[in-house]
């Protein structure tokens, strides 16, 4: 079984913000794979189904970003799945806008959602799909930037990027992380098309 966790903040006030691209990608994965996000447990909303031949759980934590680890730890403890089978979808300010990067493991960098997950799992050995949300303007606080919405032009580009992010998650599950990294980490950035 694979658990795919999209990071974001619950509630209408946060919908479509830069910080919620993880939630948005979960919605695309659910739609593409006929999975209904209709269950509530583990301080999350989630759905269960299949991607390829693998059973999957698509998860949107409802704890707010900075406590995302509570949901991930509770699912990990309950299902006793290998940590490598937890795929986290996360926004990233340090990679190019509209790019998708798969990482096998690593530090949290500046991301509080990842910090919470790593802290509570006591392990950073889980794959993540990072989505470039743009660089913070110098005159804007980081929190204000990540909670802002995309411009109309940016949104059109990001919507395509989110489909790429969903495809990359499917590739990790169906073909393994090495193949997925080879395929997606070398793709040109959508913003440069």
Point out the residues that are catalytic.
Answer: 19
- Phi (first) and psi of residue 180, to 5 degrees: -65, -40
Instruction: Count CB atoms within 10 A of the CB of residue 155.
Output: 11
Q: Which residues pair with 90 in a beta bridge?
A: 130
Residue 116 DSSP class:
H
- φ/ψ bin of 62: left (φ > 0), alpha (ψ from -120 to 50), beta (otherwise): alpha
Which residue matches tokens 């990540």?
146
């Amino acid at each position: 079984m694979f658990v795919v966790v999209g990071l974001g903040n619950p509630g209408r006030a946060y919908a479509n913000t830069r910080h919620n691209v993880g939630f948005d990608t979960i919605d695309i994965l659910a739609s593409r794979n006929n999975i209904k996000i209709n269950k509530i447990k583990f301080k999350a909303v989630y759905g269960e189904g299949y991607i390829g031949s693998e059973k999957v759980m698509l998860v949107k934590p409802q704890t707010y970003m900075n406590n995302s680890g509570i949901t991930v730890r509770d699912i990990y403890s309950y299902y006793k799945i290998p940590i490598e089978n937890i795929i986290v979808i996360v926004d990233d300010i340090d990679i190019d806008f509209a790019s998708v990067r798969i990482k096998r493991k690593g530090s949290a960098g500046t991301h509080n959602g990842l910090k919470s997950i790593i802290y509570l799992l006591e392990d950073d050995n889980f794959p993540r799909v990072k989505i470039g949300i743009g660089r913070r303007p110098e005159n804007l606080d980081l929190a204000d930037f990540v909670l802002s919405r995309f411009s109309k032009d940016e949104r059109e580009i990001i919507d395509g990027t989110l489909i790429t992010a969903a495809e990359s998650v499917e590739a990790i599950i169906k073909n393994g992380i090495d193949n997925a990294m080879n395929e997606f980490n070398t793709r040109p950035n959508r913003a440069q098309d």
